[in-house]
Structure 1
Amino acid sequence: MKLISSERPNFVVARIEMAEEESVNNSELCNRTLNEIDVFYEKLEEMMSRFVRENKDAVRDFASHGHVGDNLKFDNMISKSAIMKVVFLI
């Protein structure tokens, strides 16, 4: 037997309203998180593109031989080991 709105106890109505609000909040949180992930990947793609442009020879050597020298150009935002991990993944 379903309760119609006027027959629902107050705590049930309150819980339904909370669930609806949580659903909206979770949806907003998911959308924000997806947007942050998109921004992260855009920045990562830009950073890796710049790295590859600035280090074409080293990247080619790495692709061919599996190692590079110590003369890589990289900015202070990321370490050489972090770059090499990402290059390895590519």
Structure 2
Amino acid sequence: MALIITDECINCDVCEPECPNGAISQGDEIYVIEASLCTECVGHYETSQCVEVCPVDCIIKDPDHEETEEELRAKYEHITGES
């Protein structure tokens, strides 16, 4: 699954620089995650770095973008050009 940021986001700016895929950006009201770029850090780290640093635990799995570990790995390989 890709991740989403809920409206509990306090715009603290700590998640954006942690994303190795550049999937997080400032939205109109809160930070947002581009599902097509989010691999939950598969291929980069053992855990989702944005979730690790979020002080309010507002980053959750997006039920509208369910993906398996293999699909996330394939997305990582596509984004990075690795295989």
Give the TM-score of the pair, scaled to structure 1.
0.24
Which structure is richer in relative contact order (CA contacts within 8 A, separation 6 or more)? 2
Kindly indicate which of the two structures has a greater share of residues assigned to helix.
1
Kindly indicate which of the two structures has a greater share of residues assigned to strand.
2
Give the TM-score of the pair, scaled to structure 2.
0.25
Task: From the CA coordinates, give the structure whose radius of gyration is larger.
Answer: 1
